[in-house]
Structure 1
Amino acid sequence: MFLLLLCFMASIALGVADIGPDDILQAFTQPDGSTEHLIIRTVRVPRSITALLVGAAVAVAGAIMQGLTRNPLADPGILGINAGAALAVVMAVFWLNAASLSVYAGFALVGAAIAAVTVYGLGSLGRGGLTPLNLTIAGAALTALVSSLTTAILILSQRTLEEIRFWLAGSVAGRDMDLVVQALPYLTLGLGIGLLMGKQLTTLSLGESIAQGLGQKTAWVKGVAAASVVLLAGGSVAIAGPIGFIGLIVPHIVRFWAGADYRWILPYSAIVGAILLLLADILARLIIQPQELPVGIVMPLLGAPFFIYLTRSKIKR
């Protein structure tokens, strides 16, 4: 928690504008309306809170999906949930001229829910039922299809591309507290449900037959856990766009010291996910000063090498 607080303070302090510690403290205790205080209160604090919430939500969603599917490569991005949410938002902008981040929230949640149901349905049709392999193949196929549809819409409509291209890259810049407050109920509810499912996910990760033998109602557990993932992934995409790799790599990092018990994996994933996205956003601000990169571009630079390592290790096993 101390490291999380340190990263949060660094996110408030660092950026293009050089603001000293005294100004940061006065911005909270004695705001005087100066430019430095306005930057702290209206730009950096909402941005840092957004990164903290989104990092925690996506990491917990990835951990839940890995426990639910017993698939170490599962996360909202790879299984098509992020792509479904992004397509719903792009369609809203294209057909309904929705141009506000606050409007994106509802469409992103609907898109995430439809994508999740579709992937689970397609994965269940394969030989052997809903196996980790079938789910991964279904997610990859749906992601490819949905991404193609999204690209087609953006090619056909220059207006849509101009309005949404920065959001599609994945960014926490420019978010205000009103947007954070709007998404907070979805993220809070999703995190609350997810954290309460730790014991059930630990049992389910041992295998469905074992879980049923221990008296667990696996269908109920899967349904509740899937609803949590939709709330977390949909709410995150709504306010920050699709940001990949956090849900994939954070649970694996956490397992090094938390073991296989999801009662510990889930809360630790929330903390580490928040830290990772805060650090990635700080790097996105500083790497090409005075310009900034969207954090959704920085995360693959950090996550892709880990993904390759993870894939190779699983193939060797």
Structure 2
Amino acid sequence: MSEIMIENLCKTFGSKDGRVDALKEVSLTIGDGDIYGIIGMSGAGKSTLVRCMNFLERPTGGRVLIGGRPLGSLSERELRRQRERIGMIFQHFNLLMQKTVLENVCFPLYIQGKRKKEARKRAAELLELVGLEERRKAYPSQLSGGQKQRVAIARALASDPEILLCDEATSALDPQTTSSILELLKDINKRFGITIVVITHQMAVVREICTHVAVMKGGQVEEEGKVEDIFAHPRSAAARELIRSDRGGDMQERYGRPEEEIRSGRRIRVVFSENSAFEPVIANMILAFREPVNILRADTKNIGGVAKGEMILEFAPGSINIEAMKTYMSHRGLEAEEVKEDVEQ
């Protein structure tokens, strides 16, 4: 079992400016075999959290349990063995520049005491898995960024981990390369059942690969749950800001002025799925009620292979049909909720 349970986790650092609380009472459960995203802007505490998951950073308080076993109760020897079950992938690859691709993948196997022939055989299998068997004799300096990350993934898999921690693993890559790396991680998860934790500041990464997500800000978890639920109904200001900033990837359409410019009329946030995204619900509603509706913003994205999106609508000031129009949309598969000034600005 590779379920990760984090209970009331705290991490405090001392500095010349005083005490810094990097993590504040963080509690999460990451299911066995899940692809779980932890998202937040710089300074949110997400990288500190992921380093506490394998005790590279020892928490100041709280517990981390893997498979029901608290890491804080392990001896140093037991902790080293536990870390062998947890692979890590970093933003800047951390490859040995003076070693070939094959030798980079062999490195953790040598540390485990594997014989050279056995280690090389296993490394060759992993390079085939990540699509780099033909570059086994190349050096990292001869590889593209995406190829370097594939080597890093192969190296992380060398010890047959049950958990894979990805700390901003695609931040240094272009969008097309990022997409190919995420597809590789999804394939690894499906093929081997490895629990994958993705640390990122990009909502596009979360909606592409993750099933669940925790949104962090200021060392705390603002909200967590299924990606599709948080996208449809973000409860925290941090989640709403990340969704609003997600403008790349597979956006199909966007038009209208930003909602920050709105000065009159009630606003409704409409969430639609693949079952309703291509029906002219809004146009038909305008015809049915004979009342203008201003589309301030609209976009469509792919979340876990399902087309999902949102619209921000503004109704005419003084309209008496708003509730009836919300009901009209609801009956046609659209979810509508009020947008409040103090929340969205």
Larger Rg: 2
Superposition TM-score tier, normalisation by shorter sequence: under 0.3
The structure with higher relative contact order (CA 8 Å, sep 6+) is: 1
